[in-house]
Structure 1
Amino acid sequence: MSESAGGCIEPPTAVTEAEVDALVRGICFKTGPPRRLGVEVEWLVHELRSPQLRVTPERLEAAYAALRTVPLKSALTVEPGGQLELSSPPAGSLMECVGTVSADLDAVRTVLREDGLRLVGLGHDPWHSPRRYLREPRYDAMEACLDRGGPAGRSMMCASASVQVCVDGGYEEPGPLGHVRRWWLAHQLGAVLVAVFANSPLAGHRPTGWLSTRQLRWAQIGTGRAGGPPLDADPRGTWARHVLDAPVMCIRQDGGEPWDVPDGMTFREWIRSREPRPPTREDLDYHATTLFPPVRPRGHLELRMIDAQPGDDGWIVPLAVTAALFDDPQAAETAYRAVKPLAERTLGRPAPHNPLWHDAARVGLADPELREIAAVCFAAALEALPRLGAAREVIDAVAAFEARHVARGRCPADDLLDRLHSGKPPYGKDLSS
């Protein structure tokens, strides 16, 4: 609601299709030199000593109440299933981003450890079925909407975790750091990142047959909710049309009333019908947050395809590699040339609903072409990281990951499966118990 000059409260103004197109073009794709970097790290939260025991909602609530008293530079949020997420502030360098999030994670882990809990870097919970922790109108509506497509939505909401790297949109002009090139690169390189960092081969105590079960669940949600738009030379216009033609997840209500969950109505149709009420700018902003493509433009580019990584610091490797391949001109050009042949395997279908992304999530670097491209990209990233001011420990971590996984055509999910087949757990107590 807004207040007029005479002091009367005026209802929000409805938006038109032309206004939506202009707003999306201007807000979602801001161009300029790539200067800032960010990361959002999601974690499953398990019992410290008995990770196969489900953490009760009461224990989660007590731990999260304690965490809210801890001063952090990163924004701390709780996901629908009780997962924790730290979102860094925009950083001026890779090492600033690493330093901020590392310090915040140390503080979070200290509090959780006192409550007998731990953060776990897995892309999908290997044991526990999806269970919603947050009971809010937004998530009630999201669950009702996603349930229409099957069980994948609840897994996405409540049993998955990721590393999301955020890079600037890039220059207006063409070139290795131009926004059109970076948009295209994100969708092709994204499949390589899925394969390299796949870390979710288990669900319900058993292998799913996919190295990234998390990516499988996202794809199963469907093209309207979790698909990207076609790739062309006009990402602004293409994304604006995608937002207009995507189905509305829910229509918010005031006063604690349940939110409406329309069945298949697009935002464009809502504008035209004006039912059950005309959509406003606030509705548009909210609608954009209910779209979950693998690359989401939000003024910057949010790369959402990377599984949560093992270990306390495993998230640093995908952050460093992605930053190098996007923000160093030489590495960006190398990555662009390396992934260019992958376009043939998409069959012209948007990510992640094409054969390329399917293969990346299912077999990872066992795919020869993805393995070869990953090797080229890691070599380029390792050359670029000193130019980006990366500390020796970050460069060493990337090199160690390359030697342990990429050079051998493996990903973290392969390590989990090896441990399972030898009777060992991915961490903690024995998987068979």
Structure 2
Amino acid sequence: MADYDYDLFVIGAGSGGTRAARVSAAHGAKVAVAEEYRVGGTCVIRGCVPKKLLVYGAHFAEDLRDAKKFGWNVPDPLEFSWPTLRDNVLAEVDRLNAAYTQTLTNHGVEIINARAEVTGPHSLRLSDGREVTAETILVAVGAHPAIPDVEGKEFGITSNEAFNLDAVPRRILIAGAGYIANEFAGIFHQFGAHVTLMNRTQDILRGYDLQIRDRLLQISMMKGLDFRFDATFEKIVRDDDGCLTVHMSGHEPITVDMVMFATGRVPNTRGLGLESAGVELDDTGAIRVDEDNRSSCPSIYAVGDVTNRVQLTPVAIREGQAFADTKYGNKPTRVDYNCIPSAVFSHPPLAGVGLTESQARQKLGSVKVYSSDFRPMKNVLAGRQERALYKMVCDGETDRVVGIHMIGPDAPEILQAAAVAVKAGLTKADFDATVALHPSMAEELVLLR
């Protein structure tokens, strides 16, 4: 039997990699994880966690204005300190980085602060000069923001840099219309920037229910966000004052102080040496894997965004757990990718699970849709005209709930519980039989007509 330095060598200490490493070590494997940047990965260090903290900070802009109607004496004008929020968020990232590191160490995982490249089915080269071997290699290196190949692209930033800005830009153009673009649009708008979203099509948030995303578009425009649809980059020009003029197809040029690219994410497989082990990649550079996360090389597995299956942190964690339990825990497990809930922390947030109305009609034919279009009680007293929209999509033959989609305050918090019902295959009658929790927004789910 071959003698290896490690039972498992994990490349990348993000959400999927840390879970796989920790659980595999708990099952008795000798595990090392290589991380060239910081333990925690995209989500913890430069993604969903710090971004959600910025979202919380941005919500105070509206909450403080609304507070006047609830009897609070709020100074006018409000003062906001970006450096205070930025530094507090970065401090929290530091805390989480330390916590993730400690968790791995406590479980006996060796953390190697270096870049690792595959040199064969069982071998790796580290950037510190070492060569190591492992019976099994797990690639969990995630993805990075895609940057359009446009003249002047070096003048733009991505979400990676957004957390370290010296100041909030006065004017910003965000390229893209997915969840990252819409979330940062809401954040920068609430912090006082004039925001323009530029998209190459007429659709925002593809994959979400059409009515829900249309409602977000309406509310965003009502708040003062600008949109440029059917627009592609021609060039970005920086003048002597540092201002950027964006030339685009179909529209007049726009001059801003900052350009952010939020045009998708690319798997981090370049320069990883995977070809040396015969690992197959798809057209996007993602690692092709089977249901057990195994690549075309039997000793190399992959989880998380680098596989480009579902780019969500909880999915990467489940994939890492399934890998560890299957490989080392004598508990074969596969991830079920049906009914994965997701959310966009826009202003207001939206969330969905299961089939959209369009998807249900294409798949099932006979569909019943129930909805509630209402103004949340808090918005009424505050004088805010924003309306929430909840939708339930049901199989017309069986009454089974196949999708729930919503936009409004706390929509993601409400949807998590509702997602359990959709996953369990409950019917509209089951919702109707549940007594409403009044007064709440969530009660609309059991009162849909």
Q: TM-score, normalised by structure 2?
A: 0.27
**Greater RCO (Cα-Cα under 8 Å, separation 6 or more):** 1
> In proportion to residue count, which structure has more helix?
1
> In proportion to residue count, which structure has more strand?
2
Q: TM-score, normalised by structure 1?
A: 0.27
Larger Rg: 2
